[in-house]
A and B are shown apart, each in its own frame.
Chain A
Amino acid sequence: MFHDALLVARKDLIIERRAHVVLGQVSPLGLLILVVFGFAFDANVELLRLGSAGLFWVAVLFTGLLLVQRTFDVETEDGNLDALRLSGFLPQSIFLGKVIGLIVQLFLLEFALVIGLIVLFDVTVVDWLLFLAATVLGTFAFSVCGALFGALASGIRLRSTLLPLLLIPVLAPVLLAGTRAHEVALGLSSAPGWNWTGLLLVITAVYTSLGLVSFGPLLEDG
């Protein structure tokens, strides 16, 4: 199962390498969102620094949605979903492959956004371990939810507008937990940050289980 999952992920990442969507389009868009926030808050560095954790996750949310959309658009073009269904891969392998592909792409995006935060908003990470744990777990949670709801929307004609409507409410707890954990990691709050990473872990586990069970039927309806 994992061998096939890696094949699917590898294929998605090669498509990304050839098309340069993350590095050429989505990451610059994420940075642009941070800059626009900067203008919206009248370049008030202190205010931006206080809100930097939330702004990071909002930027991840909107740009990550494009990556989820793209991940399933490549399957719906030219009937590729049928070829994937005929490939002999288990649906669980396809699900995990999509998740792994999204995780790698989101990491690239988040790397650019973290650089943007440090440069634009003058933030300092005081607890790197918590910061990395929250980023990694938040990315996992985002990716499993994205793969699950991306497959759900892939069979729907108006999927490009429907996917955000479906996915954003599901990702709201990820946004909240990621923001709270990052606030602690950036020294902006003294709340127990590791509790929020625990929530991210639970969300990841729940949606991974859901995805493994339901991805097959979703793929058949796609």
Chain B
Amino acid sequence: MPSVVDFSGVIALRGQYPVLAGLDLCIEQGEIVLLRGPNGAGKTSLLRACSGLLSIASGKASVLGYDLLASNQEVRKHIGFVAHQNHLYSDLWVRDQLRFRALAARAHDGDIRSICDRMEIPQRLLQLPTESLSAGQQRRVTIAAVALRRPRLWLLDEPHAGLDSEGRDLLDSLLQDAAKAGATIVFASHEINRAETIATRSISILGGQAVGGTNVS
């Protein structure tokens, strides 16, 4: 299978501090990879580097066949990134929010209805300002907005945070279906027990380096 993420000796800096310190990593298409490690280990930086949001200072870095050192713009079209923050405009209604994301991804109203059904976002919520939603509801909208992009590579940073048990099940099911359809999932989580139920591989990150990996299932 082709490598979706192929990092070799990757160094990325935040200011003068190396957040990725010679990281080697290879992830293949269709994998669901759990990144584990303590706070500050470099999990978020790795996800941001994969998305092209964090510039790579040196090493060899390829994502979905795009050389990130040459350009980090093209790859972004194929990335779905669920970050710590929800990336939602507080004054927009949920419907406006999803329509903007859908139009940006060349998706249609039918896709919005479909993903809202999938994430169990009720119709009445679509008419509400995003800021009036609970944290869990906002998280569902964020995941729906990312899913509308039909990403080839999902990058998720603590995606279960704020979701109730039902929401977590819905997210896990969505990710597993995406992987079955050929997408690749990389996510960081501290909720190891739940995360390991969907991950096919687990990679430990420490000090900006991948220090070990195990097949989970």
Contacts and interface: CB of A to CB of B under 8 A. Distances in A.
Nearest to A16: B91
B87 A80 contact: yes
Given A7-B104, A80-B87, A14 B79 contact: no
Given A11-B100, A85-B53, A86-B79, A18 B85 contact: no
A89 interface: yes
B2 to A, nearest CB: 22
A83 interface: yes
A42 interface: no
A105 to B, nearest CB: 14
Nearest to A79: B85
B92 A86 contact: no
B53 A86 contact: yes
B162 interface: no
Contacts of A1: none
Interface in A59-99: 74, 77-80, 82-83, 85-89
A14 B92 CA distance: 7
Given A74-B89, A86-B76, A18 B104 contact: no
Given A4-B104, A88-B104, A82 B87 contact: yes
Most buried by B among A18, A74, A83, A86: A86
B83 interface: yes
A15 B88 contact: no
A19 interface: yes
A78 B76 contact: no
A19 B91 contact: yes
Contact of B81 (A11, A14, A18, A86): A86
Interface string A1-45: 000100100110011001100000000000000000000000000
Interface residues of A, number: 21
Contact of A15 (B55, B81, B91): B91
Most buried by A among B81, B83, B88, B100: B100
At the interface, is chain B mostly helix, strand, loop or mixed? loop
Range, interface on chain B: 20 to 34
B66 interface: no
B136 interface: no
Contact of A78 (B77, B86, B96): B86
A109 to B, nearest CB: 18
Contact of B103 (A7, A15, A79, A220): A7
B37 interface: no
B144 to A, nearest CB: 13
Contact of A18 (B53, B77, B86, B129): B129
Interface in A106-135: none
Contact of A86 (B51, B86, B89, B96): B51
A86 to B, nearest CB: 5
Contacts of B84: 79
B87 A79 contact: yes
Contacts of B105: 88
Interface of A: 4, 7, 10-11, 14-15, 18-19, 74, 77-80, 82-83, 85-89, 220
Interface of B: 51-53, 55, 76-77, 79, 81, 83-93, 96, 100, 103-105, 129
Query: Sorted from nearest, which 6 A-B pairs have the closest CB atoms?
Result: A79-B85, A83-B87, A88-B77, A19-B91, A18-B91, A11-B100
